[in-house]
Structure 1
Amino acid sequence: MSRQPLTIAPIAVHEPSRERLRGIASMVAGVFVFSIMDSLMKRLSAHYGPLQISCLRCLSSWLFLLLPIGWHGIWATLRPRNPQLHMFRAVLGIGMLVGFVIAVHRLSLAQTYSLFLAAPLLMTALSVPLHGETVTGKRWAAIIVGLSGVLVILQPWGKGEIPMIAASAAALATVCYSLSALTVRSLGRSNSSMSMVFWYLLLVGAASGLLAIGDWRPVLGSDWVWLIGIGITGALGQMWLTDAFRRAPPSVVGPFEYTAILWAFAIDWIFWSATPSFSLVAGACIVIASGIVVIVDERRLADLALNPSSPPP
């Protein structure tokens, strides 16, 4: 799941529920197109290095992003506010993309996603020191149980099916993405969604390209169609994902990334004839169940804050 970054603000429990629903819808749509993009990146990872793929992924999406910007004539809205945070977000984006490409090259899409599922739980935990949000004991327990599900997937106590280098790369991608997603809440106060996506793709693409110069390989003619697909799905996914975190707190929209595992299982089975192991399914279910607990508890507190006179659910 190649995505983006952050600093944090308290959950605005007074936000209209309509905005939260729109944020959830944007998250689900973004996750769907990103799963398509990630499968294309996995295909390219057999021939190109992680930094080159990061560059091609971002710049191809950036070029497609220019079309709606030029069509609507919204160049003035692209002016970056808080450039330091944009740069920090770009650094996190490079770490996330490189880690993800390394992981997905060695693992199935479902395995990589199952480890990446810990991101929403990390977002909730990190929202405390970064955004000053309040996390209940129930949610802390769900986070701990969810992370134990990651251990079930990794099986460090035996001969696990996931090599350490792939697990470490997935962990790097997960941490960078969690921090990246939280920065959107801060950038969203003074930057438009289009501006955040525009500068994220441009900065990450340009920086990754410079870092990849020494190991750059000519793009094969047969791979251009996959790059076009990455560009289209990446641009759409980036806009929807940024919109999701801009409209609602990470603790609300983050857990809906779990829908990605369904697409990953389907893609692995259709294109790579790969079926998930019992430990993978069991661990993913534990992480997903923990995420659902986080969602329910956050909504309970939000409803209670809006209607303090109503009895607790």
Structure 2
Amino acid sequence: MKGPVLLMLGIGLFGVLDANSKFLSGDFSAAQALTFRHATLLLLLFLLRAAWPGTGGDFRTGHPRLHALRAVAMLCSGLMFFLAFRHLPLADGYLVFFTAPFMTLVLARLALRESVPRAAWIWSGVGFAGVLLALMPSLSGGGSAFGFLCAALGTVTYAVNITVNRSLKAESGIARLVLFPSTLGLLATAPFAGLHWVTPDVPQALALMANGILAGTATVLLALAFRHATPARLAPFEFIALPWSVTLDWLVFGNAPAGPTIAGGVVVALACLMSERAVIQGTSSGKR
């Protein structure tokens, strides 16, 4: 259960990150928010290594191309979701995000040559059906085409990031998981941040820095999750983001869940539980 638990914790933090980003998007450009995010992560990493040398493991890697691909995917995903939630409610953005488990399964099969049990496909499909049921009220009201496009691009690059995480599972330590994407992100966004710079007050600066801490912690948790379990096993658990997004929409933005939303949440929870049960049974059968 270590992999699913780490994944669900990471997705929960991403939900908090997205809600915080939605607040910030009204006052700051995506470039400025991402510059603060990556600068905060790099600052924390080097402060920790200064206090405790070697924290997080070695910076050197035998897979520079994979880390480069992961860094680009993370930068694109962060940018696209920040823009998406500027134009969409959390629930609508997550509707698109919930196609990620299918993309992850396909990439695991094509890129990693990992077998995907039929149960994983089936329960991912059930979970997606639960999502459609939950968000039916939002879909009927329409939404921003640009926002949906950004969410779709963010979802594709998220799936690429998840697949690369699996390819890097043999590498120990987390320092490289923070250093490479944060360095690229800072270099890529800082010049654009200066074009529309808004000086934040203290609460806003803390919120911008919190984005970095949330994003870094969530990213590391997801990477560790895919070191302990395959994409086929973890894919259905990505639907746990539905309860997170619905709860945040309710508590933070005052959007109370409708009946279909609650029913869809029950379906998603059932899909997660049954997927785990199927995987455990399959593992037990294989050991006999």
The answer to whether TM tops 0.5 is yes
Aligned pair partner of 1:72 in 24, 49, 52: 52
Cα distance, 1:248 vs structure 2: 2.0
Whether 1:30 and 2:22 are equivalent positions in the alignment is no
CA contact (8 A) 2:120 2:232 kept: no
TM-score using structure 1 length: 0.78
Are the counterparts in 1 of residues 77 and 157 from structure 2 also a CA contact under 8 Å?
A: yes
> Does residue 226 of structure 1 match 2:216?
no
Residue 176 (structure 1) shift: 0.9
Q: What is the deviation of 1:177?
A: 0.7
Q: 1:216 to 1:299 in 2, by over 3 A?
A: farther
Which residue in the other structure is 1:93 paired with?
74
Unaligned runs of 5+ in 2: none
Instruction: Find out whether 1:128 has 2:109 as its counterpart.
Output: yes
The one of 145, 153, 164 equivalent to 1:164 is 145
Matches of residues 1-313 of structure 1 in structure 2 within 5 Å? 21-74=1-54, 77-147=58-128, 159-190=140-171, 192-210=173-191, 212-213=192-193, 215-222=195-202, 223-277=204-258, 289-305=270-286, 307=287, 309=288
RMSD over aligned CA atoms reads 2.9
Percent of pairs with identical residues: 25
Consecutive unaligned residues of structure 1, counting only runs of 5 or more, are 1-20
The answer (yes or no) to whether the contact 1:78–1:192 under 8 Å persists in 2 is: no
- The Cα shift of 1:242 comes to 1.9
3-state secondary structure, aligned to 2:171: coil
**SS of aligned partner of 2:197:** coil
The Cα shift of 1:152 comes to 5.5
| Superposed CA offset, 1:207-266 (max 9, x none) | 2334x2574323322411212322332332222222212222223334333333323222
Contact preservation (8 Å) 2:120, 2:236 = no
- AA aligned to 2:214 is T
Distance 1:65 1:121 in 2: 33
Q: Which moved more, 1:244-253 or 1:285-294?
A: 285-294
- Answer yes or no: is the 8 Å Cα contact 2:77–2:153 preserved in 1: yes
Q: Which amino acid aligns with 2:166?
A: R
Distance 1:267-1:144 versus aligned 2 partners, 3 A rule:
closer
Structure 1 residue 100, shift from structure 2 partner: 0.7
Q: 1:148 to 1:24 in 2, by over 3 A?
A: closer
Q: What letter is aligned with 2:199?
A: V
Structure 2 counterpart SS, 1:176: helix
Amino acid aligned to 1:169: C
Equivalent pair of 2:73/2:157 in contact (CA under 8 Å):
yes
Counterparts of 1:58 and 1:257, CA distance in 2: 25
Secondary structure of 1:41 counterpart: helix
Q: Matches of 1:281 and 1:106 in 2, distance apart?
A: 24
Q: 2:31 is matched by which residue type in structure 1?
A: L
Contact 1:52 1:209 in 2 (8 A): yes
1:50-74 C-alpha deviation (Å, 9 max, x unpaired) = 2332232222233223333333211
